[in-house]
């Protein structure tokens, strides 16, 4: 062995000094707190007749999430695009690391129950602490984005949160993985969104979160969810590919935190002031009203609007499967059904159970969200015993309504239907190439014979060709009120005229807020002359 080789074997390996620890260049603990607003101001949006000219952008989570609705000439339709901050590869890695760490620390019961502002502060503190512990170099712009996404996901519903925060969304439809989410927009109607769930596992996690926030359970053994989200929205979801081949799905029906007021329905041209005035009189004199129509035809919206006319001192008991009603009053007992707990079927609280109990709660008015089973017999027996009732039902005409009430699973006696005074038929309609909802007709039930053949009177109807509402003075329900309360038909017609003017003046003066409309209705019950004078109705009559 030569000398060079021997020296190489005997030589010690060169020890390279370790590189110094990477120092954090950004002092995250001193960063200014990021302001985030999950309730930004609602922007005014106008309908555009020519869809190809649509190009609107508005904020749904300030200042991070925006909605951009525009015409896409390539697919020849409107697109609903969600705009959120774009994360770099490094930021995505930080986000995944922080998410896992915070999940281990956070109490999800607190997420559901605690105050939103305190939760935002909690997440902010955890990011700052964990960033230092993990030695993350996070510049301020990255910190802002990470704070947004972590707040969005822990407080809300991940990618779905911007859509659910959009005031203008009525319905959300997810048909499974690798398929775009669709929405029904209040102004632009059916739209395809830019949101697609490409990962079935991530979609499963989202559906599990929906179930958790509803206070319910969904799994492979129990794969269908029906529930109400914390904001009052109604959700139906499926969990497995055995049920829906594209994987988990969900459909959400959103509800406004405050119901549409009567004047807002007039501004949408859903019905006329005279129709509302007529319903006001029927509510005032405790007539029984059933609101019929197809799915998403506006039945619950009309029910909420009609509830504005219930006298302020009256006691109201409402019964629903899932909470949709939002009544503008204090003396209101809201009841909701409950599924069976565990394996004990007797623990189930049904509409039938609640309705039967409601008549022992001394109600002046009973409101049932929707009748579709044996609870209808209890409702109609309550009507017959003098409890004023308002409810909704799926039917598109009086004939189909009567047939539905007479056949299983409801099976009412035809003669019992005579306690029903009025049926409002809601419908979808296309007016000037725009989808809308209309109160198609108000039908009075004059008599139903033992064979189920009804004699009816239609005082109000909507003419589709002209998009106008028509009414006639003859009202059989006014005759009932006249006999029952000793009030002449002339007085009722005069009162109808006054109430119609009140509603129209509120519409003209843009009085549409929840509290303002309810305040005027309540004051009219107590000091009618003052309200008429305040709205200038006396002056108009003097000019005539």
Residues 77 and 174 placed together within one structural domain of the fold: no
So what's the pLDDT on residue 7? 52
- Which tokens is 232 given? 């009052």
Residue 8 makes CB contacts below 8 A (sequence gap 6+) with none
Gap between the Cα atoms of 12 and 447, Å rounded = 110
Over residues 483-500, the pLDDT tens digits come to 999 999 999 999 999 999
Gap between the Cα atoms of 522 and 309, Å rounded = 8
- In a domain? residue 218: yes
- Which tokens is 65 given? 């999430």
Could you tell me the CATH number of the domain that includes residue 205?
3.30.450.380
- In a domain? residue 379: yes
Residues 390 and 270 placed together within one structural domain of the fold: yes
Residues 250 and 296 placed together within one structural domain of the fold: no
So what's the pLDDT on residue 544? 43
Question: In a structure prediction context, what are the per-residue pLDDT tens digits for the chain, which is 544 residues long?
Answer: 555 545 544 554 455 554 444 444 567 878 888 999 998 998 888 888 888 999 999 999 999 999 999 999 998 999 999 999 999 999 999 999 999 998 877 655 555 456 788 888 888 988 998 988 888 989 999 999 999 999 999 889 999 999 999 999 999 999 999 999 999 998 898 999 999 999 999 999 999 999 999 888 899 888 999 888 888 788 999 998 888 889 999 999 987 667 789 999 999 899 999 999 999 999 999 999 999 999 889 898 999 999 999 999 999 999 988 777 877 688 999 998 876 665 555 677 888 889 888 888 889 999 998 888 888 888 998 898 888 999 999 999 999 999 999 998 888 988 899 999 999 999 988 887 777 899 999 999 999 998 888 999 999 999 998 999 999 889 999 999 999 999 999 999 999 999 999 999 999 999 999 889 999 999 999 999 999 999 998 754 544 4
Could you tell me the CATH number of the domain that includes residue 276?
3.40.50.300
Residues 411 and 355 placed together within one structural domain of the fold: yes
- In a domain? residue 471: yes
Q: Which of 112, 132, 167 is the last residue of a domain?
A: 167
Beta strands in 89-246 (DSSP E): 169-174, 180-185, 189-196, 224-228, 234-238
Residues 427 and 326 placed together within one structural domain of the fold: yes
Q: What is the dihedral of CA 89, 201, 209, 166, to 10 degrees?
A: 60
Residues 175 and 249 placed together within one structural domain of the fold: yes
Three-class SS of 436-456: EEEEEEEEEEEEECCCCCEEE
Beta strands in 273-387 (DSSP E): 289-293, 316-320, 332-336, 365-368
Helix (H) or strand (E) holding 120: helix 116-133
- In a domain? residue 532: no
Is-contact 289 422, C-beta < 8 A?
A: yes
Cα four-point dihedral sign 252, 258, 263, 267: negative
Helix (H) or strand (E) holding 481: helix 476-485
Place of tokens 């059989």: 476
Residue 241 makes CB contacts below 8 A (sequence gap 6+) with 200, 247
Place of tokens 């997810």: 174
Provide the edge-to-edge strand list for the sheet that holds 332-336.
332-336, 316-320, 365-368, 388-394, 289-293, 422-431, 434-448, 454-463, 468-471
Q: Which of 167, 198, 230 is the last residue of a domain?
A: 167
Residues 322 and 471 placed together within one structural domain of the fold: yes
So what's the pLDDT on residue 3? 53
- In a domain? residue 378: yes
- In a domain? residue 46: yes
Residues 245 and 348 placed together within one structural domain of the fold: no
Residues 141 and 267 placed together within one structural domain of the fold: no
Gap between the Cα atoms of 281 and 20, Å rounded = 83
Gap between the Cα atoms of 167 and 163, Å rounded = 9
Q: Which among 377, 408, 426 has a CA at the least distance from the CA of 271?
A: 426
Residues 303 and 163 placed together within one structural domain of the fold: no
- In a domain? residue 135: yes
Residues 300 and 346 placed together within one structural domain of the fold: yes
450: left (phi over 0), alpha (psi -120 to 50) or beta: alpha
Residues 159 and 173 placed together within one structural domain of the fold: no
- Which tokens is 45 given? 């949006």
Give residue 347's domain range: 262-475
Q: Which of 167, 190, 207 is the last residue of a domain?
A: 167
Number of domains composing the chain: 3
So what's the pLDDT on residue 9? 46
Gap between the Cα atoms of 95 and 167, Å rounded = 28
- In a domain? residue 492: no
So what's the pLDDT on residue 390? 96
The model carries a pTM of 0.77
For the chain, report the end-to-end CA distance as a whole number of angstroms. 128
Gap between the Cα atoms of 421 and 330, Å rounded = 27
| Length of the chain (residues) | 544
């Amino acid at each position: 062995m030569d000398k060079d080789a021997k020296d190489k074997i005997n030589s010690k390996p060169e020890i390279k000094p370790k590189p110094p620890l990477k120092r954090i260049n950004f002092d995250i603990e001193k960063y200014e707190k990021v302001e985030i607003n999950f309730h930004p101001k609602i922007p005014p949006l106008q309908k555009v007749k020519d869809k190809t000219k649509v190009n609107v952008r508005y904020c749904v989570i300030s200042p991070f999430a925006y909605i951009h609705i525009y015409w896409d000439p390539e697919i020849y339709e409107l697109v609903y695009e969600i705009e959120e901050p774009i994360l770099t590869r490094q930021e995505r890695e930080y986000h995944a690391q922080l998410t896992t760490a915070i999940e281990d620390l956070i109490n999800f019961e607190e997420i559901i129950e605690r105050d939103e502002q305190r939760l935002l502060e909690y997440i902010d503190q955890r990011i700052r602490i964990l960033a230092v512990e993990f030695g993350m170099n996070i510049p301020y712009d990255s910190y802002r984005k990470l704070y947004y996404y972590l707040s969005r996901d822990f407080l809300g519903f991940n990618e779905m949160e911007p859509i659910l925060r959009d005031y203008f969304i009525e319905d959300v439809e997810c048909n499974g993985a690798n398929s775009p989410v669709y929405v029904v927009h209040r102004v632009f109607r059916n739209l395809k969104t830019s949101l697609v769930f490409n990962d079935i596992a991530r979609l499963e996690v989202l559906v599990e979160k929906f179930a958790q926030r509803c206070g319910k359970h969904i799994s492979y053994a129990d794969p269908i969810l029906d529930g109400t989200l914390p904001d009052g929205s109604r959700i139906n979801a499926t969990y497995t590919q055995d049920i829906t081949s594209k994987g988990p799905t969900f459909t959400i029906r959103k509800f406004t935190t405050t119901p549409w007021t009567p004047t807002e329905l007039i501004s949408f041209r859903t019905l006329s002031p005279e129709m509302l005035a007529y319903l006001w009189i029927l509510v005032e004199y405790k007539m029984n009203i059933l609101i019929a129509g197809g799915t998403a035809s506006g039945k619950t919206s009309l029910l909420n609007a009609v509830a504005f006319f219930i006298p302020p001192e009256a006691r109201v008991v409402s019964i629903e499967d899932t909470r949709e009603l939002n009544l503008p009053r204090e003396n209101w007992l809201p009841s909701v059904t409950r599924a069976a707990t565990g394996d004990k079927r007797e623990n189930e609280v049904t509409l039938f159970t609640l309705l039967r109990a409601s008549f022992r709660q001394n109600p002046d008015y009973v409101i049932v969200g929707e009748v579709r089973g044996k609870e209808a017999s209890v409702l109609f027996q309550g009507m017959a015993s003098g409890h004023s009732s308002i409810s909704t039902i799926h039917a598109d005409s009086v004939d189909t309504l009567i047939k539905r009430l007479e056949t299983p699973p409801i099976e009412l006696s035809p003669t019992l239907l005579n306690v029903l005074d009025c049926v409002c038929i809601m419908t979808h309609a296309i007016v000037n190439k725009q989808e809308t909802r209309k109160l198609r007709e108000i039908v009075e039930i004059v008599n139903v014979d033992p064979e189920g053949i009804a004699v009816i009177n239609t005082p109000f109807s909507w003419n589709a060709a002209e998009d106008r509402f028509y009414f006639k003075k003859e009202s059989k329900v006014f005759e009932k009120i006249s006999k029952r309360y000793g009030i002449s038909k002339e007085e009722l017609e005069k009162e109808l005229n006054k109430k119609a003017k009140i509603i129209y003046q509120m519409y003209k003066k843009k009085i549409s807020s929840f509290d303002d409309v309810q305040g005027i209705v309540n004051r009219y019950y107590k000091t009618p002359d003052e309200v008429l004078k305040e709205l200038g109705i006396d002056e108009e009559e003097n000019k005539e």
